[in-house]
Every structure is written in C-alpha cells, then in structure tokens.
C-alpha cells in the first residue's frame, strides 16, 4: 500500500465513522434520562462501529509502517499499544480508546440488557470528541511519514 492509498483508506474510514457518529447523535440527547433496551443497543452498536473504524485506521497505519500486529487473540490491544509506542496516539488518547475497546469487548460477549446506562453514557457523550482527536493525531502522524 502506498502512502496515498493509506490516506485514501483512512479518509474513507473516517467518512464512515462520521456517518455512524451522526446517527449516534441523532439518537442520543443529554436531556433524555431513560433509554429503552433497543435504544441502548443502538447506541452501543454505533459506538462499537465507530471504535472499530478507528481501530481499522490504526491497524492499517501500523501495517504500512511494517509493524507486527498479526491476528491473534490480543491483536486489538496490540494495535492500541503499538499506536501509542510509535507516537500516533498520545497517552491520554490511548487511555480513552482503551475504555472504548473495553466497552467493545464487553458488548460483544454480553447481553445488551446487562449494560448499565451510567457506564455507557460518558462514552456516548465523548465519542464525537474522541473521533476528532484521532483524526487530528492521524493527520499529524501523516506529516511525519
């Protein structure tokens, strides 16, 4: 993959992520206190989709840099860790994305009705800002390669 192809890939992923985050923001309202299980499932799915898209961007960047991130049981954590180690993700963003990864893992292996809204709410509220931060960091990293 060339650098231009990587940039195009990342742009396409971010366009998809933006669509998902827009849908999340249509459904979520700070004023609303109670969400049905179906609404919570939708919000959780949108969050998981957005996180997965950001993870895909980071994974492709690591592959472009020829860093080992073979598919293995721990590859999701490895993508975040290596992205932090090589300077794509600053520590505070690494920490935030780790929370979304933990939520993703919980969501995949749990019944949706076991998810506590109070645990999910800060992640929903922060998603738009986290995506913006990842975009900024990715674009800044592109300036170094």
Q: Which of 2-6, 34-38, 103-107, 127-131 has the highest mean pLDDT?
A: 127-131
CA distances from 33 to 12, 51, 111, 117, 126 (A): 34, 24, 21, 9, 17
Ramachandran category for residue 116: left, alpha or beta (phi over 0 → left; psi -120 to 50 → alpha): beta
Asked if the model's pLDDT at residue 33 lies above 80, the reply is yes
Asked if the model's pLDDT at residue 128 lies above 70, the reply is yes
**pLDDT at residue 1 in the model:** 85
Give, in degrees to the nearest 5, the angle at Cα 92 between 66 and 94.
Answer: 35
**pLDDT at residue 72 in the model:** 64
Mean pLDDT for all residues in the chain: 92
**pLDDT at residue 75 in the model:** 84
Give, in degrees to the nearest 5, the angle at Cα 43 between 40 and 49.
Answer: 140
Q: Considering only CA atoms, which of 54, 65, 63, 69 is closest in space to residue 138?
A: 54
Ramachandran category for residue 51: left, alpha or beta (phi over 0 → left; psi -120 to 50 → alpha): alpha
What confidence tier does 145 reach under pLDDT thresholds 50, 70, 90? confident
Structure tokens at 118: 């109070």
CATH 1.20.120.330 fits 3-142, yes or no: yes
* Residues 126, 30: Cα–Cα separation, whole Å: 12
> Which tens digits make up the pLDDT trace of 58-103?
999 999 988 777 666 778 888 999 999 988 999 999 999 999 999 9
Asked if the model's pLDDT at residue 112 lies above 80, the reply is yes
**pLDDT at residue 142 in the model:** 92
């Amino acid at each position: 993959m060339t650098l231009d192809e990587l940039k195009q890939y990342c742009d396409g992923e971010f366009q998809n992520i933006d669509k998902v985050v827009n849908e999340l923001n249509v459904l979520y309202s700070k004023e609303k206190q109670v969400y049905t299980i179906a609404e919570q499932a939708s919000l959780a799915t949108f969050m998981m989709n957005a996180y997965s898209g950001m993870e895909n961007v980071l994974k492709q960047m690591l592959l472009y840099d020829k860093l080992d991130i073979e598919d293995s049981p721990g590859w999701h954590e490895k993508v975040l860790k290596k992205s932090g180690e090589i300077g794509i993700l600053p520590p505070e963003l690494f920490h935030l994305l780790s929370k979304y990864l933990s939520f993703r893992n919980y969501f995949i292996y749990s019944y949706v009705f076991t998810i506590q809204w109070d645990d999910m709410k800060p992640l929903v509220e922060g998603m738009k800002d986290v995506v913006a931060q990842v975009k900024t960091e990715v674009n800044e990293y592109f300036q170094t390669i």
